[in-house]
Chain A
Amino acid sequence: MIACAYLPYLAPVLLMGNSPLVVVKHFKRMGKVIALSPDAEQVGAARGMSVTRARAVCPKGRFVGSNEPSFEAGSEKLLDTLWTFTNRVEIDADAYPHHAICYLDLGSLRDADACLMAEEMARALRAAFGVGASVGLGHGKLTAYLAAQRAMRDEVLLVEREDEAAFISPFPIDTLPLHKADARRLHLLGIQTLGDLAALPRTAVTASFGKRGTLLHRLASGLDGRPVTPAKMPQTESVRTTFEAIYERDHLDYYLTRLTDGLARTLDKRAVAAHRLVLTIHFERGGGQDETLRLLSPVGTARGLREELAKLLARISFDKPVVGVEICAAHLVAAIPVQLELFAECPVSRGVIDLTHVLAARYGIADCFTASVGQSWSLLTERRYVQRRIEVESDVS
């Protein structure tokens, strides 16, 4: 199941203002319009138009470049909002920032569940951008996109698999990803809708348009097998702070704890954990030292991060006053959900905890584990039992 979230005219939402907005992209020889507000469209400006012509038809328009920071921030905000539903999110780069067309791969979710998720998606987008989005659901990207276009703002439209061909057939042929030459030829042949194209024999379309014709025919027939190409999630998260020169380790620990809590919140929000930690200490009068730790088990909790950072901190010598600290969590992976383990955990014997206390006082708790039942139904032996660190307060930091 694929969902398409559609936010029309995103550029004026991101760049607030009353005058008609025209977003241009400057190429080497000439600039082109890539996005515009509805009022600029009304006066005759259009996407793909040269900047000179756009200035002529819309003299009162506000012209901004495509490198405006708000657009990048908007893209990140869009991804952040949609990544809470799935990590397989693709933003249509050709349409952005004119429209925001985002495809989400929902896997084999059932129709009813997908509808519920899509409603949540529309609500989340309205909360994030302050405007309504429509969400289309289908088994292909084209169907989902057309369903999103057909749906009203804040609405969800699901097209079931057996209805897909019938649903898309009345849409104009221009909704396909066509080259200019192909579009002109199709119009000359009198093929106006997707249904018209689908009615042609596939071999005839292939003979006329080559391999591309086969793809177009498949798309027009509702057989869209194009996968969602997910945008890459940023693979690092970092936090930093600066302060007046400090000379004592305790003071540094205070700042580290604050930073660690903030980093843990960020990781938790993204549902990821770090496989690598980098701690950078900045000393007064320039210079700094960084230490890296590769973790066998990814860590995402504040407590886990604090324990690993304590190891890194132990490697750094404090012979100079410290003025700044930075923690970078890298090689991020999806965090393993922990709620399923609530009922599987059996309490550890008092004797084991007492002995761990004894060992933790000297060595820390990094190496003290207990084994317990994990996914007992799993066919993989290594998943049926898991080793967990024994949680006792360590006197060693």
Chain B
Amino acid sequence: MTATRIHIIGVGGQGTVLATSLIGQAALAAGININVSEVHGMARRGGVVESAVTMGDLMSPIISNGEADILLGFEPSETLRAAVKCNNKTLVITNNHPLPPFTVSIGKGVYPDIADALGKLEKKVGSLVALDADALAHQAGTVLSLNMVMLGVLARHADLPFDEKHLKKAIKDNTKPKFLEMNIKAFDLGYNS
């Protein structure tokens, strides 16, 4: 199979690390070679969290600028921050619900005009899917299921070497049973959005 490189970006607390790990579990179950990298420690204290998944005939767990096949952004301004990972064929999937950084909340920074900026980005990349994933997560029960919504959207739009059944099984095997129903609901809302 050909190699697939997925770069994932979000904000501490949005569940990007779990989402990344679930993509890895799904790939493993499908018998695909996989490498995953994460940032832990200091970077997680409310800061930017980046992770990467590479699949297929690859060994590197990280992705250089311009080399992401898929950019999965959990927060729109963070998607813009990671835009440099994209090339003119990249599929960008992004939440368009803003989570302004604290610098903006207290009036010491300007949050970009997201609709305009994503419009510009769309013209530069292969394709761009933007949706209010926070709203779908709320609909599923809690904003905490945002990462499941994003996985659903990914499964729908990306040409992955495994299908959504593998992802659903990974969710089932690796998340708390108490939240399973909600997580699957969130995944489906993302998938069918």
A complexed with B? no
B contact residues vs A (CB 8 Å cutoff)? none
